[in-house]
Chains A and B, each alone.
Chain A
């Protein structure tokens, strides 16, 4: 599903994001990428959604080599991957419904399909009754659930979550992780970048540990070991 071969990202001589990363994530896996701040978790996420290009190496998603992806094809790649960010990245001038439907509209989905699917997805994340609210009218946990609904709505095979619970309290953190686990149960590959020890230990899934931009451990049923 996701393959990284000798991926290195160098910003400058003093700042190396990732160093010679070799990684293979299979379809349906739930993988936690852990490490302290500045170890390369976010760089890895940015490379996977083509927000940045690697200095060296090759990244393949499905059958798609995205290492030298042309700018015009980046939107098509992003429509195949659901991404959840720490700061939610919701459109503040759009309602909950519009934020979720936007992901389908940019992909050219029919309006009838959008009108049917968006309320269903919002029901899954428990926001069916708050469709017409704006992000500012929601709590942090609710905003993150909107972001999950948006990442989920076009049924991606992969969801990448970059510190999705970083801005949430413990109750909301548990809820978000439960939603991600549910999504994974339906066969979606989940890549979770986090430095939350409790989450990782509770999940008991594959854990890849980064330190100084390098993989220091990769365990099938791992724990947070930093």
Chain B
């Protein structure tokens, strides 16, 4: 207990008396954590953007006017067994007509032609959403049977396949590049933190060997650095997240314009705060432990 108290006392003494070096170490840790978090946020935003784009893609089955409610119920029941389908919305004939009128309210010729028909020429529409854009092919294959051919006028997805595939390729590539960049930054951060701690220990190499010569045990020498690593990790993570939340206050109003689904990074950080803080705190702590341990090995041999 006494030695824990003394080790903690030495740690805080060292932090105070090496204030410049301690501040520089924390500053570099903050810079690296900020970089990782910025990249992380960009990755989250990319994922959000691609998922929004994916959500915009759907397949519409336009039925002929003769299609009955029983026909539609049967097709819906048949399609509902496909696990790729996440949502099916049936728009009835009347709603299709209303929607058509709204779309063409500025075009008197189209509306008068519709009047002349004296009946609703539209059939119902089934709007289908799938988990991934490539799943639409399976849905199309499923409805591409002779008994449904007579009921379905057209399928909106046909002809868009090439565009959807390109979009899928782009989003996949963006996700891969994002992951690659995050990994690269993690490695760079690791190396910078590792070397920062090593430099900090290196400047104290003479002190470490003196402590050894006057009979300090390994624990007595390493202990303060462990406490310091804990303080560095705590301070750097706390300041980093303080700065992140400050930045998000300015960024979120712009994001809410881009993301109409109400997504904000503040909400994301709030809902993942324990995981984000925990993983970064543990990473910095482990990294500083390992770096200081490796840097001290030589001095402790005295």
Contact = CB atoms under 8 A, between A and B. Distances in A.
Given A91-B207, A106-B220, A150 B214 contact: yes
B215 interface: yes
B215 A78 contact: yes
Q: Which of B210, B211, B216, B218 has the most CB of A within 10 A?
A: B210
Given A92-B207, A93-B17, A103 B213 contact: no
Given A92-B207, A93-B18, A103 B214 contact: yes
Contacts of A150: 214
B103 interface: no
A79 B218 CA distance: 14
Nearest to A76: B215
Given A93-B17, A106-B220, A51 B215 contact: no
Contact of B215 (A85, A94, A103, A110): A103
A93 B2 CA distance: 22
B210 A83 contact: no
B213 A105 contact: no
B210 A107 contact: no
Given A75-B215, A76-B215, A93-B14, A108 B210 contact: no
A164 to B, nearest CB: 14
Contacts of A105: 6
Instruction: Give the interface residue-count category, chain A.
Output: 20 to 34
Q: Which of B3, B6, B214 has the most CB of A within 10 A?
A: B214
Contacts of A76: 215
A107 B215 contact: yes
Interface in A82-102: 83, 85, 89-94, 98, 102
B297 to A, nearest CB: 12
Contacts of A103: 214-215
Contacts, number: 52
B17 A102 contact: no
B217 interface: yes
Contact of B213 (A49, A92, A98, A110): A49
A96 to B, nearest CB: 14
A106 B302 contact: no
Contact of A106 (B13, B18, B207, B211): B211
Contacts of A72: 217-218
Nearest to A98: B13
Contact of B3 (A83, A92, A94, A108): A108
A106 B2 contact: no
Nearest to A105: B6
Nearest to A79: B215
B210 A106 contact: no
A150 B215 CA distance: 11
Nearest to A94: B13
Contacts of B217: 72, 75, 106
A83 B2 CA distance: 25
A105 B8 CA distance: 13
Interface in B4-42: 6, 13-14, 17-18
Given A51-B302, A93-B14, A75 B216 contact: yes
A105 B2 CA distance: 9
B169 to A, nearest CB: 59
Interface string B196-225: 000000000001001111111110100000
Contacts of B216: 75, 102, 106
B73 to A, nearest CB: 81
A13 to B, nearest CB: 24
A198 to B, nearest CB: 28
Nearest to B214: A103
11 contacts: A51-B213, A75-B212, A76-B215, A78-B215, A83-B213, A98-B13, A102-B214, A102-B216, A103-B215, A106-B211, A106-B217
